[in-house]
Amino acid sequence: MAPAAANSAMCEVTDLTVAYQSGDEWLRAVRSVSFEVRRGEILAVVGETGSGKSTTATAVIRMLPANGKVVSGRVMFDGRDLVHLPSQEMRRLRGQDIAYVPQQPMSAFNPTMTVGRQVAEPLLIHRRANASDAAREASKRLKEMGIREVDRVMKAYPHQLSGGMLQRAMIATAMICQPRLLILDEPTSALDVTIQRQILALIKQVQSEYRLAVILISHDLTVVSQVADRILVMYGGRAVEIGATEAIMNRARHPYTRGLLRSTMAGEREHKAKLASLAGYPPAPHDVDSEQGCPFRPRCPRAVDQCSTMFPPFSAGGADSWACFNPEPVE
Amino acid sequence: MAAPALPARRMSGIDLAGLGRRWGALVLVAVWLLIVLLPGIAAPQDPLALNTSNTLAPPSAHHFFGTDEAGRDLWARCVWGVRYSLGIAVLIVIGAAVIGTVIGGVAGLFRGPIDTVLMRTTDVFLAFPYLILAIAIASAVGPGLTTVVVALTAVWWPGYARMVRGQVLALKELPFVEGARAAGTSTFAILYRHLLPHLLPQLSARISMDVGYAVLALTGLSFLGLGAQPPTPELGAIIADAHSHLLVAWWYTTLPGLFVLAAVLSAMVVSDWLEARNKSRFA
Amino acid sequence: MTYYLLRRLVGAVAVLFGVVTGTFVLSHVVPSCPACAVAGLRAGPEQIKAAAHSLGLDRPVWDQYATYISGLVHGDFGTSYASRQPIGPAILTALPATLELVFYSFVVYALLGVGLGLVWAWRGNRFESWIIRLVSMLGTAMPVFWFAMVLQLWLASRVGWFPITGRMQLDPPPTITGFYTVDSLLTGNFAAFGDSAWHLVLPVTALVMWQFAVATRLTERSVIEEMRMPYVRTAIAKGASTRRVLLGHVFRNAINPVLTMLGLQFGWLLGGTVLVEVVFSWPGIGIYMYNALQTFDFPAIMAVTVVVTLGFVVVNLIVDLLYPVIDPRIRAT
């Protein structure tokens, strides 16, 4: 396996379609999503609940629940298609080459095991380290992640630590085997605003120090705009817009992205409009699966007839590409 | 989300092939009702009729289960015996459930010193291994079927008290109880009219399960000589008598137990159905 | 943590007090005429009064109660109505037999029940497991004494694979622990070991078969529930194998309700032991109680009740004390 060149794609997802089983039928939750993440960049995947963003991330690391499966598509990592990798190989990648930081650090830790042991665990799994060596390494990492009372944290149980500290510990755990791809699922949603900033700064710092490829899942455009290099916007199981952060935040072309921007503080700056919410509700799983055209059509102020016939193909323009028959004009 | 990489599980319930839970349960209940209410149809022979010329006879067309040491038809004795067992078990469990519900409900609603006293008492009862306590009570009161009812009810109510108290504690925080209180409803009315409907599903599933266990418990007491006195046929007593003839009369030992097994299994099927129904309704 | 321990200990002592009072009430207050049993069926009112006097039954209730309590504290369990011998030594003689039976039954029960539940939770609903499930379900539905007799009839009497009654056929080994199996091994008497073990098989089987479905069902359910917890995902994301997830993470958390269940099941086991001892003529306190029942020997009955309940309280106390060892969240309170 040749090491990835400086700017080549670390992970390339092509036409990924993931479905869940509900009763007798399989409902697609993610439809033909494509993107890539390069070494040394942070790609944020943004969308509302039910947009399929978490499912996409989970599918990349092959951790879908028992009732979910990848229907079609490819996930290339290191020249290998993860979708068809034997499970033994996949297990070797997890925690070692590809790390996943789950939501809600407070519940993601095992309540009856010390934090130290849990942080050291990937070493025990992958490197067959002995307990003391692993503990030493874990302490080092915790310090690196900005934890000051390392000894106390190592011996502590999850319920004795704050959310911020646990998140730092979780990131330490993810980094302990020096992975090349890091996936973070809503890393700041469960935290206070001040802690959010710290964690985001930490992510940025770790990413640049280790030249990681990072996929950051979030529903909060404001949060990700602070650290992401590129943003992928998802809606109703589809990728609707993807581009450089600057382009998205200032010149988003897809009506949904614009809507999102208008409903956040970041958008207000540009448009000097009042905080406006999007009318209507995101589609239910059944509709996500059955929709022929664009899933945003029912809520879209710019919908045209063509929008109900098929999902629009991507058009590119500068550092941005969008899937829309009637995109917002450039200002 | 369920753990990935680990396959999905499903617990197997008791499901009479093809018929499904509901019909299985109802059919069984019907059969047992028939046996309990109209034993004469199920067993044509007289369970008390002595026949010293035909003692300890193996099963035959005339005597399905053979005869015991006094020449009595074992099948008839079993049928009549199971009537007692089921009837008394139902009595015990319902009695225990009522007492337990009242005590648990009062403890949960009032809290404070009443709660403490009631729960300490419950703890003392629950500290005894169940059968040991029943034996102690039954021996003190004197053997007999009524004794068994008293003893087993005394042993069973604490379980219900605890369960109901726990549920009441959870339920009483809900807004509708506060509303009732604000409207001035008396505590007993709250318990009876508002809380009971919520308690019933879990209670009924547990009651039907406990009927089976009560049958086992009372046959155990009878086995020890504390229950029905001769010549009343009672399955536990019958099995106890059979012990003396273990080596010569296999049917005497083996077959009556099957009756008990059938009764308890039926209780479990009914309970299983009720539990499944509760889950689908409230899950 | 010490506060937790103290509270549990005090609670246990309080409960024991209640237990002892309860047995006193049952043996002295409830029976309509405790002396009648002693005096015999044909006794006239004179003899009954004399019997009552000789047993101290005509003294005021609180006086009897005080004597009872102080006696217990000194280990004096009173005198048997039937044999006129002190009860304490009689129980002590019979106790090892019951302890040996209960010990092996509980160990086999715990290992089999919990182990099987764990395996099933791990491997899921395989086809061949249904027969064990069926058998275990039948186990809970049948009277333990009947099943013991069926085993006795078919496996001992009919085919002679196992002995019909008793603890041993050969001479028992010298008493070191009171467990025939252990004592025979300690004295190098392998024939005695084999013999005593052989005698244990059927009674233990009856007791285990009777309730092990409860253990498997609860363990399986508990483990499956626990596998849904978020930290399981975290472990898998680290690349942990299923085995590591289960043994290293899940089991430790799932064990809490299992431990509670084991404690409670011990109580059922104790009750079942009485029945099984009767069937197999096992010379333990179960059969001692049975004999006491036949003669309405209240002090003996109550003494056994107190002793057995004490064992149950102790076991549950141990379970209570194990919680903080396993679950660090409880240690803090």
Angle at the Cα of C262 from the Cα atoms of C261 and C268, rounded to 5 degrees: 90
Mutate to test the interface with C, among A125, A128, A160, A173 (most CBs of C within 10 A): A125
Q: In chain C, which residues have their Cβ closer than 8 Å to the Cβ of A157?
A: 328-329
State which of A132, A147, A178 marks the end of a domain: A178
Tokens of A283: 């589609």
pLDDT in tens, A3-61: 545 556 678 899 999 999 888 888 899 999 999 999 889 999 999 888 889 999 999 99
Q: What is the ipTM of this complex?
A: 0.84
Q: Is residue A227 part of a domain?
A: yes
Q: Which of A100, A113, A160 lies at the smallest CB-CB distance from C237? A: A100
- Beta pairing, strands A68-77 & A238-244: unpaired
- Determine, for residues A125 and C249 on separate chains, whether the beta-carbon distance falls below 8 Å: no
Q: Are residues A173 and A188 in the same domain?
A: no
pLDDT in tens, B54-93: 677 777 777 777 777 777 888 888 888 888 888 889 999 9
Q: Is residue A65 part of a domain?
A: yes
Q: Is C227 on the interface with A (CB under 8 A)?
A: no
CA–CA distance from C282 to each of A173, A273, C203, C311 (Å)?
58, 89, 9, 19
- Beta pairing, strands A181-185 & A98-101: parallel
Neighbours of chain B (3+ CB pairs under 8 A): A, C
Q: In chain B, which residues have their Cβ closer than 8 Å to the Cβ of C136?
A: none
- Determine, for residues B8 and A66 on separate chains, whether the beta-carbon distance falls below 8 Å: yes
Q: Which residues pair with A242 in a beta bridge?
A: A232, A321
Q: Is residue A289 part of a domain?
A: yes
The answer to whether A101 and A187 are in contact (CB under 8 A) is yes
Q: Are residues A45 and A143 in the same domain?
A: no
pLDDT exceeds 80 at position A128: yes
**B131: nearest Cα among C270, A52, A79:** C270
Q: Which residues pair with A315 in a beta bridge?
A: A322
pLDDT for B6 equals 33
Residue numbers of C between 45 and 104 with CB closer than 8 Å to B: none
Q: What is the rounded average pLDDT for all residues in chain A? A: 87
Contacts B–C by Cβ distance under 8 A: 175
Lowest mean pLDDT of A133-147, A261-275, C134-148, name the range.
A261-275
For residue A254, give the CATH number of its domain.
Answer: 3.40.50.300
Q: Are residues A220 and A193 in the same domain?
A: yes
- Determine, for residues A173 and C229 on separate chains, whether the beta-carbon distance falls below 8 Å: no
Task: Write out C20-80 in H/E/C secondary structure.
Answer: HHHHHHHHHHCCCCHHHHHHCCCCCHHHHHHHHHHCCCCCCHHHHHHHHHHHHHCCCCCEC
Tell me the mean pLDDT in the region C109-119: 88
Q: Is A107 on the interface with C (CB under 8 A)?
A: yes
Q: Is residue A328 part of a domain?
A: no
pLDDT exceeds 70 at position C1: no
pLDDT above 70: percentage of residues in chain A: 93
Task: Write out chain A in H/E/C secondary structure.
Answer: CCCCCCCCEEEEEEEEEEEEEECCEEEEEEEEEEEEEECCCEEEEECCCCCCHHHHHHHHCCCCCCCEEEEEEEEEECCEEHHHCCHHHHHHHECCCEEEECCCHHHHCCCCCCHHHHHHHHHHHHCCCCHHHHHHHHHHHHHHCCCCCHHHHHHCCHHHCCHHHHHHHHHHHHHCCCCCEEEEECCCCCCCHHHHHHHHHHHHHHHHHHCCEEEEEECCHHHHHCCCCEEEEEECCEEEEEEEHHHHHHHCCCHHHHHHHHCCHHHHHHHCCCCCCCCCCCCCHHHHHHCCCCCCHHHCCCCCHHHHCCCCCEEEECCEEEECCCCCCCC
Q: Are residues A78 and A209 in the same domain?
A: yes
Q: Are residues A120 and A194 in the same domain?
A: no
Q: Are residues A118 and A61 in the same domain?
A: no
Which DSSP helix (H) or strand (E) runs through C258? helix C251-280
State which of A123, A145, A178 marks the end of a domain: A178
**Domain annotation for chain B: domains and CATH numbers:** 66-280 (1.10.3720.10)
Q: Is residue A3 part of a domain?
A: no
pLDDT exceeds 60 at position C185: yes
Q: Is C245 on the interface with A (CB under 8 A)?
A: no
Measured CA to CA, the distance from residue C153 to residue B253 in angstroms comes to: 8
- Determine, for residues B2 and A63 on separate chains, whether the beta-carbon distance falls below 8 Å: no
pLDDT exceeds 50 at position A131: yes
Q: Is residue A294 part of a domain?
A: yes
Contacts A–C by Cβ distance under 8 A: 73
Neighbours of chain C (3+ CB pairs under 8 A): A, B
Which three-class secondary structure state does DSSP give residue B67? strand
Q: Are residues A192 and A174 in the same domain?
A: no
Q: Is residue A6 part of a domain?
A: no
Q: Are residues A17 and A56 in the same domain?
A: yes
Tell me the mean pLDDT in the region C47-62: 74
**A291: nearest Cα among A320, A300, B5:** A300
Quote the pTM value: 0.80
pLDDT in tens, A262-310: 877 654 455 555 556 677 778 888 888 888 888 888 888 888 888 888 8
Q: Is residue A329 part of a domain?
A: no
Measured CA to CA, the distance from residue A122 to residue A134 in angstroms comes to: 9
Q: In chain C, which residues have their Cβ closer than 8 Å to the Cβ of B211?
A: none
Q: Are residues A119 and A213 in the same domain?
A: no
Q: Is C330 on the interface with A (CB under 8 A)?
A: no
pLDDT for A270 equals 52
pLDDT for B282 equals 60
pLDDT in tens, C277-331: 999 999 999 999 999 888 888 888 888 998 899 899 999 888 888 888 877 776 6
Q: Are residues A55 and A159 in the same domain?
A: no
Q: In chain C, which residues have their Cβ closer than 8 Å to the Cβ of B212?
A: 141
pLDDT in tens, B153-212: 999 999 899 888 888 888 777 777 777 777 777 766 776 777 778 788 888 888 888 888
Number of separate domains in chain A: 2
Measured CA to CA, the distance from residue A13 to residue A234 in angstroms comes to: 14
- Determine, for residues A110 and C327 on separate chains, whether the beta-carbon distance falls below 8 Å: no
State which of A178, A204, A229 marks the end of a domain: A178
Q: Are residues A115 and A172 in the same domain?
A: yes
Q: Are residues A234 and A314 in the same domain?
A: yes
Which DSSP helix (H) or strand (E) runs through C309? helix C298-326
pLDDT in tens, B222-258: 999 888 777 778 888 888 888 888 888 888 888 888 8
Mutate to test the interface with C, among A63, A106, A121 (most CBs of C within 10 A): A121
Q: Which residue of C lies nearest to A156 if distances are taken between CA atoms?
A: C328
- Determine, for residues B139 and C296 on separate chains, whether the beta-carbon distance falls below 8 Å: yes
Roughly what angle, to the nearest 10 degrees, separates helices C298-326 and C87-123? 40
Q: Is C239 on the interface with A (CB under 8 A)?
A: yes
pLDDT exceeds 70 at position C40: no
Q: What is the rounded average pLDDT for all residues in chain B? A: 79
Q: In chain C, which residues have their Cβ closer than 8 Å to the Cβ of B130?
A: 267-268, 271
Q: Is C247 on the interface with A (CB under 8 A)?
A: no
Q: Residue A157: give the domain boundaries.
A: 103-178
pLDDT exceeds 80 at position B34: no
φ and ψ at residue A148, rounded to 5 degrees = -90, -50
